[in-house]
């Protein structure tokens, strides 16, 4: 138990340092290429911070007869991103973005949650479910990338290839550090949960999902401290898209099996919270400090109903 606690603490420290570095590097890439932070946040940072969910869910799906840990991890991570990550960032700074970003990235996020949730509500994830989710993921990534040129934030006068290379390498190393930190934390947390006799679905929905969402939370907080609000939106929405489509797709292919303990209620809650958060962003043109407080307070209530 002592070793597990030390592992958790070590993971938190690595996460904090790596997330801060990742945001710095992502901003550097965005500025050098003149690309909107939304694109960098959705595709680069969003994918990078979703790697812990991918690793944990894939291993869980491949090694077990059921895919409850994988499914509940996706649900729990998406909920944690929309409440804890977005809420913590909104406490620090007003998180906003152009309306078209909420419509496109937010719309894709909601559609991804609905598609994964719809498949999971059947009680199984078949291989064709997984293939369909990955095909939609490719389409979503292309849609986001193709809208990049229209969102260019500055004209490129001179591209410094050395600086761009350094920024990319730094971002990759930092994201690897984020994944390692998350894995340390999750490993320690799961060991503690086993010692306490917590069920697989509950572990996935709470401890594992919070742990694998820490990269998003840490990155969102680091970006908020720097005022990179579009990077926050891109990271949260992009990560949820990757979780539902890419992580769900791989889990479906590797671990075709029954969903026994993950409740239908939790799946509906994930879809509902996605719709509510998107609507609030559209109507309120972003997320204020009061919205951030509401999101943070909502998380434990959501968990109670979901579990």
- CATH (domain of 51): 1.20.1420.30
Look up residue 187 and give its two tokens: 């490993």
How many residues would you count in the chain? 307
Q: Which range of residues forms the domain containing residue 52?
A: 2-306
Most confident residue range from 104-108, 142-146, 158-162, 281-285: 104-108
Q: In this prediction, what percent of the chain has a pLDDT beyond 70? A: 79
For the chain, what is the mean pLDDT?
80
Which is more confidently placed, 38 or 91? 91
pLDDT value of residue 153: 43
pTM of the model: 0.79
**Region at 37 (left for phi over 0; alpha for psi -120 to 50; beta for the rest):** alpha
Which is more confidently placed, 6 or 301? 301
User: pLDDT tens digits for 143-198?
Assistant: 888 875 444 444 444 556 777 777 778 777 877 776 677 667 667 766 776 777 76
pLDDT value of residue 301: 92
67: helix, coil or strand?
coil
The pairs formed by 102-107 with CB atoms below 8 angstroms and a separation of 24 or more are 102/233, 102/278, 102/281, 102/282, 103/282, 104/143, 104/144, 104/147, 105/38, 105/42, 105/144, 105/233, 105/234, 105/237, 105/238, 105/241, 106/237, 106/278, 106/281, 106/282, 107/278
Instruction: Flag the least confident range among 41-55, 104-118, 216-230.
Output: 41-55
Say how many domains are in the chain.
1
262: helix, coil or strand?
coil
């Amino acid at each position: 138990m002592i070793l597990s606690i030390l592992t958790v603490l070590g993971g938190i420290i690595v996460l904090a340092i790596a997330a801060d570095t990742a945001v710095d590097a992502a901003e550097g890439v965005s500025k050098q290429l003149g690309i909107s932070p939304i694109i960098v946040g959705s595709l680069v940072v969003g994918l990078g911070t979703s790697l812990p969910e991918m690793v944990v869910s894939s291993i869980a799906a491949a090694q077990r007869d059921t895919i409850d840990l994988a499914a509940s991890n996706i649900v729990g991570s998406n909920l944690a991103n929309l409440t804890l990550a977005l809420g913590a960032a909104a406490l620090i700074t007003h998180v906003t973005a152009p309306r078209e970003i909420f419509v496109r990235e937010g719309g894709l996020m909601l559609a991804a949650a609905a598609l994964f949730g719809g498949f999971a509500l059947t009680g199984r994830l078949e291989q064709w479910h997984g293939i369909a989710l990955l095909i939609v993921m490719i389409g979503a990534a292309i849609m986001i990338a193709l809208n990049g040129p229209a969102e260019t934030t500055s004209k490129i006068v001179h591209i410094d290839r050395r600086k761009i290379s350094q920024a990319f390498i730094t971002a990759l190393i930092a994201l690897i550090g984020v994944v390692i930190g998350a894995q340390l934390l999750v490993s320690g947390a799961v060991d503690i949960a086993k010692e306490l006799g917590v069920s697989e679905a509950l572990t996935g929905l709470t401890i594992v999902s919070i742990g694998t969402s820490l990269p998003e939370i840490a990155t969102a907080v680091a970006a908020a401290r720097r005022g990179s609000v579009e990077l926050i939106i891109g990271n949260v929405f992009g990560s949820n898209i990757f979780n539902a489509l890419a992580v769900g797709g791989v889990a479906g292919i590797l671990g075709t099996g029954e969903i026994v303990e993950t409740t239908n209620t939790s799946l509906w809650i994930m879809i509902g919270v996605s719709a509510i958060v998107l609507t609030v962003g559209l109507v309120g043109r972003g997320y204020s400090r009061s919205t951030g407080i509401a999101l943070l307070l909502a998380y434990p209530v959501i968990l109670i109903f979901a579990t």
